[in-house]
Amino acid sequence: MFFCRKEPELVFGYSEDRSVHLQRNTATINSKMIREIIAKSILRRHKRIDSWFLSSYAINLYRGCTHNCVYCDGRDEKYQVEGEFGRDIAIKTNALELLDKELDPKRKRKPFDNGFFMVCGGVSDSYQPFEKKYRLSRNTLELLFKYGHPVHMLTKSTLIERDLELLQRINMQNKAIVSFSFSSVDDKISKLVEPGVSSPSQRLATIKKFKEAGIMCGIYLMPVIPFVTDTYEMIDQTVAKAKGAGADFVIFSGMTLKKGRQKAHYMKFLNQYFPELIPRYVQIYPDGNPWGAPKSDYAFSIEKIFDNVATNHGMPKRIPSTVFRPFVSRSELVTLILEQLDYLVKLKGKKSPYGHAAYSLSNIDKPIETLSTGELHDMRGIGPVTAKFIREIIETGRCRFYENML
Ligand code: SF4
């Protein structure tokens, strides 16, 4: 589902769980091969709260995705999705039984971490058509409501409307964020590159409904398609429509193309629909990059467009700190704001110490409030200016420089 110039496993903690799965049953429905499997565990804990999604835990109920987006990096061999991607799906039929145990606080020695629970996988969408029958996402939300956890959903499917009322209850009890991913808002292009999903117009209409229900909504504009949906006009149109629908933030990323199954599939698509673009792709996607990232000058050129567009529309480029401030400790607040600030500064083409500072602080074993100025200055990435921002966040919960950049 996600695409980033950085390594997804590191950025999002979204590598699939590597628990052993036992196959139970197979069936073919509408030419899709459905495999029922038994998972050993469901809940995946991140080392720390993820600043892109605010999640501390990921819940992957399915493996594989019939939405079959041409650019999906779930095809990458490292995720070990078995069978033909887009056709073959594995369903963790014992997921709810496991989750009920894993979420039960009586069985835990330590309380759950702060942060959101993300019902979504790196190689699947939680609202694929067979969710209507299996209802694993729906029942997972019921469990998260029962145990009182905040939830962040990310999908490309309007089927999530079925769970609107439940998400509204979760939102009132703890907090829910509902996000949609887009590669553009052009319905015709979407039909080509995302053949199995609801059109962008339908997704935007669904966002309006969630907003009317009082739920925070975001757009993950990832990936924009090089030389197809990465122009100023198309990015501007997407951000404008996101704003029109009431979206609270837009998070942007370009496309990765990892050598192997993902790249081979995408190049086949390109050859069929946009053969004239192949030389340009060969130029910006060298084979040697392990993350499949495009060359940095291309990546920076589209990020610059996004930065200008989002700034012009007054659209936050990260989930604003007002959302996570009530949920997190002061140490987590500082780390999250610094990580977001790192992104925002680099988006302007400037060097940033804030990522190093966030990393240094995430490894200390005492509350940040107890650090002396000398201890702060001894850490990598923390000079006088960063130290001032850290003090401001500790004392006020805010960082005005970050808020202006957002
Ligand atoms: S919705 Fe598209 S991008 Fe997301 S997991 Fe499914 S196929 Fe991949």
Question: Which residues approach ligand 1 with their CB closer than 6 A?
Answer: 1, 65, 67-69, 72, 74, 123-125, 156
pTM for the full predicted model: 0.92
The secondary structure of residue 360, as a DSSP letter, is H
pLDDT tens digits, residue range 113-133?
A: 999 999 987 789 999 999 999
CA nearest ligand 1 atom 4, residue: 1
Closest CA to 349 of 296, 283, 286: 296
Lowest mean pLDDT among 21-30, 154-163, 240-249: 21-30
Looking at the domain 8-323, which fold is it?
A: pyruvate-formate lyase- activating enzyme (3.80.30)
Say if residues 247 and 63 touch (Cβ distance below 8 Å): no
The mean per-residue pLDDT over the stretch 288-317 comes to 96
CA nearest ligand 1 atom 3, residue: 1
Distance between CA atoms of 67 and 85, rounded to whole angstroms? 10
pLDDT for residue 13 is more than 90: no
**Residue to substitute in 14, 72, 197, 198 for testing ligand 1 pocket (most ligand atoms within 8 angstroms of CB):** 72
pLDDT of residue 276: 98
Lowest mean pLDDT among 18-22, 154-158, 301-305, 308-312: 18-22
Architecture field, domain 330-405? Orthogonal Bundle (1.10)
pLDDT tens digits, residue range 239-292?
A: 999 999 999 999 999 999 999 999 999 999 999 999 999 999 999 999 888 899
pLDDT tens digits, residue range 77-91?
A: 988 888 899 999 999
pLDDT for residue 293 is more than 90: yes
**Residue to substitute in 15, 61, 65 for testing ligand 1 pocket (most ligand atoms within 8 angstroms of CB):** 65
Count Cβ atoms within 10 A of the Cβ of residue 18 and give its class: 0-12 exposed, 13-18 middle, 19 or more buried. exposed
Read off the amino acid at residue 405: M
pLDDT for residue 168 is more than 80: yes
Distance between CA atoms of 243 and 344, rounded to whole angstroms? 20
**Across all residues in the chain, what is the average pLDDT?**
91
CA of 141: how far to CAs of 86, 112, 252, 309, in Å?
25, 17, 27, 35
Domain range annotation of the chain? 8-323, 330-405
Give the residue with greater pLDDT, 33 vs 8: 33
Query: Before 8, cis peptide (omega within 30)?
Result: no
Distance between CA atoms of 244 and 247, rounded to whole angstroms? 8
Distance between CA atoms of 215 and 232, rounded to whole angstroms? 29
pLDDT of residue 22: 62
Identical fold, 8-323 and 330-405: no
Token pair, residue 398, equals 């805010």
**Residue to substitute in 125, 194, 255 for testing ligand 1 pocket (most ligand atoms within 8 angstroms of CB):** 125
pLDDT of residue 139: 98
| Number of alpha carbons in the 13 Å side-chain half-sphere of residue 96 | 12
pLDDT for residue 66 is more than 50: yes
pLDDT of residue 27: 73
Token pair, residue 377, equals 């200055």
